[in-house]
A and B are shown apart, each in its own frame.
Chain A
Amino acid sequence: MTKPRLLRTPLLLLAMALCAAPAVAEEPTADEIIQRSSENRTVSNSIQRMTLEVFDKSGNSRTRKITSRVKKGAEDATWSYVYFDEPEDVAGVQFLSLENPTGEDDQWMFMPTVGTANRIAGSSRKGSFMGTDFTYEDMSLGQPEDGDHTLLPKTSVTVGGATFEAYVVESIPKPETKSAYTKIVTYVDTTEFMPRQVDLFDKKGEQIKRMSFTDVEKSGEVLVPKLITMENLKRKTKTHLRVDEYEVNVDPAKLPDEMFTKEYIEGEG
């Protein structure tokens, strides 16, 4: 049985969007689109500074700044480390997640007021991530093995004022993923082969959220969406995840293995 995808960090959201632009020779199948899209999301050794802006339905916002580091660790597992920079009441909070290929991920949260990194439970996928419109599950959407995929007719999709021709892939999450969604529809750009919009449906079959990727800029062979927006259509709220600075293919010396340990984050506190 495929192990459920567990708690991830916003880094994986960014990883979804950092896509090397591939050349697509012929009409792919749904599985191929998802597979290629997933492969193209693979970013190893990256550092990002991001701003989370959480809007309520009146348009008032709260802001949090974070620094994320991601590394491909032992056994090709994803290691991610998030440091909360602002505001002051969360400054110094740290979150470390080490993917475990054979079981639940190992995760720790460091709270400056406590002074130690405490192990935290790893399977609460449906809960909100730090009060945003993202859930922990949203951080790892789009893994090929997590659902059964069907290709729908191509369509054009307008995101951030730009219109794209897109493959439309409908994914039904497998039961073992314990997904909060019954259906996920992904609009994948046919030319640059990256997701531009993801629609998420609840148990009643109603669309509840929409994630979009905008302000895309090209950095070498990598496409970087500088803004990821998650809208909750029922609550009429949204969250912006804005990439302020990024480095990909970072020198491994800047991301030593010791950095992705409980001891390290305690030392950073």
Chain B
Amino acid sequence: MIPPRRPRPSVGALLLLALLLPSLAAAKPLWEKKPKPKGLSYGGTVFSTFSPDLRMEGPYEDKFEWRAGLDFRVAYKIARNARFQISAKARYHLRVGDRVEADFFANLGDSWFQFRHGKITVRAGIESMKWGQNTLLSPLNVLNPTDYTMTLGGAGVDDPRIPLPVVRATLNLSPVAIEALWIPIFRPQRAAFYGRDFAAFRPGMLEEALPGMIPSTPVGAVNSQLTAAGDSLVDALVALDPYARDGLQSYLVADLPEEFPWHGDFGARVGYTGRGFDANGYFLWHVVDRPEVILDDAIRRPLLQERLPSAAELTALTNPGAELVSSRFERGITAGADLAVAVGDFVVSAEGGYFSDTVHFRKTLQAFRSPMVRYAVELRYTLASTFVLTVAADHAIVIRPAADMLVERQHTVNALVLAVLRLFRERIQITLGATYNPIWQDLYVHPRLQVTLQDRVKAIFGLQIYEGFRPNPPNTIDGFLSMTGGPLGYFRGNDYAYGMVEVGF
């Protein structure tokens, strides 16, 4: 039998390889690691990423971003049945555009204590967890909130899951396993609302929209004063940096259904491992992580109509006791199942879930809830560790949609492909990922080249390309409200290239 041929790298990749290979040939280990005490393991990576924006459109764009990071992990096996792990990550982000913004944070990563006794395993600590057997489009991957600021624009491949406090116990009665988990503390998703390329409110949106709301009068002096006041208001709003300071993030945890410890999530999983297949059933009673944001009419109506507040609205706005923006989280139920089957060189996996309460918004900026069903199918082909091709598709259905849904539609379909090719004994890894939403006509393409220069040193180059419908007119609230495309088109002006150096230790 003729062995399968390896896919050929592109001419560009070969040229790049030709430039890099001399340095590979000269590669020597940077240092020798000392043996670690028995039971102890530790290590980490430091990295630096520079990512220029490839499409400058307008004055409000970020021009480039620089990220530096440190990941560290230490694990110790106290006894054969007990061990713990502590990990942490630190990130420094510098964005340079019409303004320069810097942001630093250091967080605990997966840090837990685990104890095994016979068939029972108990783990308590902070964890990033995953439900569902699909590797790419996974409807049941709902346990951890997502940090959307990690996923877009020069981010490379940072894990967007926010680790959560969790206690979980697994009873392993192979081939059956039963798991119960409790997430005692609620954490919301994290997103940039305003002020950067991948924020919900695009840079320039307020700068463009607010001056238009300043009325003109026949009196020139008054006009000047109003304009100056409007400019001051714009400056004050623009100076808010909700991403860096989490200034609006506090609104996302304003109203939880219950007080601690009862506002957490409770979940259960039953798994079965058969010959040639794995199956799981899931149940989660949880706080829905998207809040129903409620805008007071005094702010919502003028914003929608891009006009000045009326006298009554002004009175309401200036009332010290008024709560202009509030949010409410409700409880919901998620139930689902998955199945993975190996057939020759392929693994087929499928998973689906029913979500009793999902939050959506109308074009009137009013929230509503609806049940939702989402299912996904994934096909993965593997040629040893040399080549992996994954193709996946999912379909989400909002059961009770509103006629005037903001951005979203009743049906959402995504297709995703990810190809990974490892060459030269895994020194070179070429990855091509792409996702496409045929309803929104949203497209995201992410080619990536990783070169292992030394045993612990990698250089990574990538492109992140966004296509799709964009708001018309762009950078306005009106355009945002009337948008018919999806998030990738919304961010379409923000293609990024990135180069990264990563050193392991």
Residues of A within 8 A of B (CB): 54, 56, 58, 60-63, 85-89, 91, 100, 103-104, 106-107, 113-116, 118-124, 126-132, 135-136, 175, 178, 180, 203, 237, 254, 257-258, 261-264, 267
The B345-366 residues at the A interface (CB cut-off 8 A) are 345-347, 349
| B340 located at the interface, meaning its Cβ lies under 8 Å from any Cβ of chain A in the complex | yes
A-B contact count (CB 8 A): 149
| B223 located at the interface, meaning its Cβ lies under 8 Å from any Cβ of chain A in the complex | no
Q: Are the C-beta atoms of B426 and A130 separated by less than 8 Å? A: yes
Q: What is the CB-to-nearest-CB distance from B262 to chain A, in angstroms, rounded to a whole number? A: 27
Residues of B within 8 A of A114 (CB): 130, 135
Residues of A within 8 A of B73 (CB): 88, 91
Please name the 9 residue pairs, one residue from A and one from B, whose CB atoms are nearest each other, closest first. Answer: A127-B384, A131-B426, A88-B43, A88-B504, A115-B130, A131-B425, A124-B384, A263-B177, A263-B172
| B305 located at the interface, meaning its Cβ lies under 8 Å from any Cβ of chain A in the complex | no
| B382 located at the interface, meaning its Cβ lies under 8 Å from any Cβ of chain A in the complex | yes
Q: How far is the CA of A120 from the CA of B135 in the complex (A)?
A: 11
With contacts A87-B504, A123-B345, A124-B345 known, is A130 near B44, CB below 8 A? no
Q: Are the C-beta atoms of B345 and A128 separated by less than 8 Å? A: no
Q: Are the C-beta atoms of A123 and B344 separated by less than 8 Å? A: yes
Residues of A within 8 A of B504 (CB): 87-89
Interface residues on chain B, number (Cβ under 8 Å): 67
Interface residues as binary, B169-185 with A (CB distance below 8 Å gives 1, 0 otherwise) = 01010100100000000
Residues of B within 8 A of A107 (CB): 342
Q: What is the CB-to-nearest-CB distance from A267 to chain B, in angstroms, rounded to a whole number? A: 5
- One of B94-102, B114-122, B147-155, B433-441 contacting the partner: B114-122
Q: What is the CB-to-nearest-CB distance from B46 to chain A, in angstroms, rounded to a whole number? A: 11
Residues of B within 8 A of A63 (CB): 29, 455
13 A–B contacts, CB within 8 A, in A order:
A56-B25, A58-B25, A89-B458, A91-B41, A106-B342, A115-B129, A118-B135, A119-B347, A124-B384, A127-B387, A261-B172, A261-B174, A263-B177
Q: Are the C-beta atoms of A56 and B340 separated by less than 8 Å? A: no
Residues of A within 8 A of B130 (CB): 114-116
Q: Are the C-beta atoms of A127 and B383 separated by less than 8 Å? A: yes
Q: What is the CB-to-nearest-CB distance from A172 to chain B, in angstroms, rounded to a whole number? A: 14
| B422 located at the interface, meaning its Cβ lies under 8 Å from any Cβ of chain A in the complex | yes
The B456-486 residues at the A interface (CB cut-off 8 A) are 456, 458
Q: What is the CB-to-nearest-CB distance from A117 to chain B, in angstroms, rounded to a whole number? A: 9
Q: What is the CB-to-nearest-CB distance from B130 to chain A, in angstroms, rounded to a whole number? A: 4
Q: What is the CB-to-nearest-CB distance from A263 to chain B, in angstroms, rounded to a whole number? A: 5
Q: Which residue of A lies closest to B344 (CB)?
A: A123
Q: How far is the CA of A103 from the CA of B341 in the complex (A)?
A: 13
| B48 located at the interface, meaning its Cβ lies under 8 Å from any Cβ of chain A in the complex | no
With contacts A123-B344, A258-B172 known, is A128 near B386, CB below 8 A? yes
Residues of A within 8 A of B386 (CB): 127-128
Q: How far is the CA of A103 from the CA of B382 in the complex (A)?
A: 18
Q: Which residue of A lies closest to B71 (CB)?
A: A88
Q: Are the C-beta atoms of B346 and A119 separated by less than 8 Å? A: no
- One of B234-242, B273-281, B306-314 contacting the partner: B273-281
Residues of A within 8 A of B505 (CB): 88
Interface residues as binary, B1-43 with A (CB distance below 8 Å gives 1, 0 otherwise) = 1111000000000000000000011011100010000000101
Q: Which residue of B lies closest to A89 (CB)?
A: B504
Q: How far is the CA of A60 from the CA of B427 in the complex (A)?
A: 12
Q: Are the C-beta atoms of A88 and B45 separated by less than 8 Å? A: yes
Residues of A within 8 A of B385 (CB): 127-131
